Amino acid sequence: MKNLFFKRPVITFLIIYCVYLIAANAAGVFKPSKQSFLYYFAGKNKRAAIEGKIISRPEITKYGKRFILKSSKTDSFPVSEKILVNMPAGYEASYGDIVVLEGLLKIPQKPAFPLVFDYRNYLAREEIYTILDAEHFEYIASKPNPVKKFALALQRDIINKTDAYFKKPYSGILKPIIIGDKSALDNDIKTAFSDAGVIHVLVVSGLHVGFIGAIFLALFKLSGLSLKKASLLAIPFVFLYALATGANPPAIRAAIMFSCILISLSLDREPLIYNSIALSAVLILLFQPQQLFTASFQMSYAATIGIICFYRGILSVFGNVKNKILKFFCEVLSVTVSAQILLIPVCMYYFGKVSVISFAANIIIVPLISVVLAGAMLFYFLTFVFPFGAFIVSAAVSAVLHFIIYSVLFLGKLKYASVPAAKPEIIQICFFAAVLFASSFYKDKKRFVITAALLAANLLYIAVPRYLGRNTIFTEIYEGNNAAVLHMRHKKEHWFEIYGSSKYYDGYFINSFGQFLDFSQIKKARVNAAGFDENRLKNDLKGRDISISFRQNS
């Protein structure tokens, strides 16, 4: 342990710090009730007058606009907290505006079922604990952060020029690829990308930042600069790209991570790459400790660590391949497989499914994304100096995007493109990580003995509770705002009594119920429903082996 601390001090500190954060989270330190003063106020369903500063670019929604407000005063009391604001149409709001808002302050909705997406918890991890449905808006002044203002102006200029030069659906898919703006993305295309296992290319992350950094690194190297100088010169362009995305947290996180890697390359000491990754995580978690518990943070580092740990070993399998084209695809496959090794359990936990076709899809799509990013950079530069050249480049990029869309739609519609998977428990993911560690770290007999012991412990953890409860009838009740579910299960049999108390069809509740069935791997069930529209309920739950009967509300 002593040698590890001196050889890898940053990694050791990161591990200790993460254990501390996990313990603090388990102890309830990050609960909204302990982090937010407004959380108590919001629970009383009272109107509030809040003064604060808009710290995000307002997004257009179905009923108006949505933005994040950093409060300074609430009903004349000084309170500094982030609030998610829903504002009706008709009001003009911009980043940096200091405003006074009046409306109903409320707590984000809690999911009715376990396992499904928890919107309240998602916002809490971003240090947002309350939502304001604004009814009155008063502008006071504008005091934007100059760096953030420049970032948003750059992002808006890229959006405007993309819309001007690219037709739909190419503009709709190009904007999330280059700057993370998904406002014009078609839902069917988004679903196809998810089913094909390449949804990550539509979210600006380490992949995109890595491509941009690699492009500038290669350009500086081609100009005759040394690796040290090229690496250091590439760092400002990495952060400039992060600013072009509107300085959103995933992009900034990826920029920090890749910059630490570039610094290690400039020192020409490859082993420092492990400390560099750890250093980037430490820098992020010191300022935003709750990021450790977010899906984006975990997926970013899981993919990066997987590539670092497993890429060379997987690539060595293709050591006899000499053809340059085949070798290139083998390298892409090796990157994809090495990233997926750690990503699969994380995706199972958050999304409840595994993409079977993702390996083939990534081999096709990921190299093309690098072409699109390079083309987009050239396109944007040419819009300033040679507009006709920008038009030609936009046509070429559109052709690549057409092929990407066609490929993804084809792959995503394959029968077994993605398969539902039961949501694993945290302890099972820990078992998985321990097995990987044991199988790669220990040598000879120890490797097999420890790995087998871990697998046996995981099997017992799953099998013993099921065996002990084999003859037990379990009953659980799940409640929403206007609906409730009684769940009874015995062995593999499941019965549900669903009751709706509102005259309005609660589609959100039924959608959550469907997700609960998928995440729980309940493939067969009997449902008795009251208070729900028969046709809509059957349509929303279609595709599952469920027998549904209806009865009238008493």
* Whether residue 331 has pLDDT greater than 90: no
What pLDDT digit, counting tens, does each position of 347-359 carry? Answer: 888 877 777 777 7
User: Are 65 and 170 in the same domain?
Assistant: no
Is 250 in contact with 300 (CB distance < 8 Å)? yes
Residue with tokens 């350009």: 219
User: Are 230 and 335 in the same domain?
Assistant: yes
Helix (H) or strand (E) holding 523: none
Residue 86 located in a structural domain: yes
201 vs 164: which has the higher pLDDT: 164
User: Are 180 and 293 in the same domain?
Assistant: yes
Question: What is the token pair recorded at 470?
Answer: 């084999």
Q: What's the 3-state SS for 488-516? A: EEECCEEEEEEEECCCCCCHHHHHHHHHH
What pLDDT digit, counting tens, does each position of 49-77 carry? Answer: 899 999 988 888 878 889 999 999 888 78
User: Are 464 and 501 in the same domain?
Assistant: no
Residue 241 located in a structural domain: yes
User: For residue 100, what pLDDT is reported?
Assistant: 92
177: Cβ–Cβ under 8 A, 6 or more apart, which residues?
Answer: 201, 202, 208, 369, 372, 373, 376
Is 107 in contact with 120 (CB distance < 8 Å)? yes
What pLDDT digit, counting tens, does each position of 264-295 carry? Answer: 777 765 546 777 788 888 888 998 899 898 88
For 308-326, what is the mean pLDDT? 81
Average pLDDT of the chain is 82
What pLDDT digit, counting tens, does each position of 461-479 carry? Answer: 766 776 666 667 778 888 8
Is 542 in contact with 518 (CB distance < 8 Å)? no
1 vs 332: which has the higher pLDDT: 332
For 176-185, what is the mean pLDDT? 80
Highest mean pLDDT, choosing among 361-375, 382-396, 414-428, 530-544: 382-396
User: Are 447 and 509 in the same domain?
Assistant: no
209 vs 401: which has the higher pLDDT: 401
User: For residue 131, what pLDDT is reported?
Assistant: 92
User: Are 123 and 53 in the same domain?
Assistant: yes
User: Are 58 and 106 in the same domain?
Assistant: yes
Angstrom distances, CA of residue 231 to CA of 28, 166, 178, 373, 393? 42, 33, 22, 19, 28
User: Are 448 and 492 in the same domain?
Assistant: no
User: For residue 458, what pLDDT is reported?
Assistant: 74
Residue 408 located in a structural domain: yes
The pTM of this model reads: 0.79
User: Are 111 and 65 in the same domain?
Assistant: yes
User: For residue 304, what pLDDT is reported?
Assistant: 81
Question: What is the token pair recorded at 9?
Answer: 């001090």
- Residue 339 and residue 454: Cα distance in Å, rounded? 23
Report DSSP state, residue 108: P
Residue 7: band (very low, low, confident or very high) from pLDDT cuts 50, 70, 90: low
* Strand runs labelled E in 45-177: 47-54, 59-60, 64-74, 77-78, 82-88, 97-106, 128-142
Residue 305 located in a structural domain: yes
DSSP string, 14-58: HHHHHHHHHHHHHTTTT-HHHH-SHHHHHTTT-EEEEEEEE-SPP
- Residue 303 and residue 306: Cα distance in Å, rounded? 5
For 162-179, what is the mean pLDDT? 88
* Whether residue 227 has pLDDT greater than 60: yes
User: Are 347 and 481 in the same domain?
Assistant: no
Weakest-pLDDT range from 81-85, 445-449, 472-476, 523-527: 445-449
Q: Which of 248, 92, 73, 250 is nearest to 83 (CA)?
A: 73
Residue 4: band (very low, low, confident or very high) from pLDDT cuts 50, 70, 90: very low
Looking up residue 531, the CATH number of its domain turns out to be 3.30.750
User: For residue 52, what pLDDT is reported?
Assistant: 92
* Whether residue 197 has pLDDT greater than 50: yes
Residue 149 located in a structural domain: no
User: For residue 2, what pLDDT is reported?
Assistant: 44
Residue with tokens 């990534």: 362
Residue 292 located in a structural domain: yes
* Whether residue 445 has pLDDT greater than 90: no
Instruction: Provide the residue range defining the domain that includes 69.
Output: 37-144
518: Cβ–Cβ under 8 A, 6 or more apart, which residues?
Answer: 352, 353, 420
The dihedrals phi and psi of 350, each to the nearest 5 degrees, come to -90, -30
Domain count, the chain: 5
* Whether residue 441 has pLDDT greater than 80: no
User: For residue 317, what pLDDT is reported?
Assistant: 83
Residue 369 located in a structural domain: yes
User: For residue 152, what pLDDT is reported?
Assistant: 83
User: For residue 9, what pLDDT is reported?
Assistant: 80
Looking up residue 46, the CATH number of its domain turns out to be 2.40.50.140
Weakest-pLDDT range from 95-109, 126-140, 184-198: 184-198
- Residue 195 and residue 190: Cα distance in Å, rounded? 9
User: Are 287 and 254 in the same domain?
Assistant: yes
- Residue 368 and residue 330: Cα distance in Å, rounded? 15
For 340-346, what is the mean pLDDT? 82
Highest mean pLDDT, choosing among 4-8, 317-321, 485-489: 485-489
- Residue 394 and residue 65: Cα distance in Å, rounded? 31
- Residue 36 and residue 79: Cα distance in Å, rounded? 9
For 39-48, what is the mean pLDDT? 80
Cis amide prior to 169 (ω within 30 degrees): yes
For 409-433, what is the mean pLDDT? 77
Is 280 in contact with 288 (CB distance < 8 Å)? no
User: Are 339 and 393 in the same domain?
Assistant: yes
For 413-440, what is the mean pLDDT? 76
- Residue 103 and residue 85: Cα distance in Å, rounded? 10
Burial class of residue 508, CB neighbours in 10 A (0-12, 13-18, 19+): middle
Weakest-pLDDT range from 139-143, 152-156, 376-380, 449-453: 449-453
Residue 1: band (very low, low, confident or very high) from pLDDT cuts 50, 70, 90: very low
For 304-329, what is the mean pLDDT? 80
Residue 79 located in a structural domain: yes
Weakest-pLDDT range from 187-191, 351-355, 505-509: 351-355
For 163-172, what is the mean pLDDT? 88
- Residue 535 and residue 445: Cα distance in Å, rounded? 60
Helix (H) or strand (E) holding 355: strand 353-355
For 485-498, what is the mean pLDDT? 85
User: For residue 448, what pLDDT is reported?
Assistant: 73
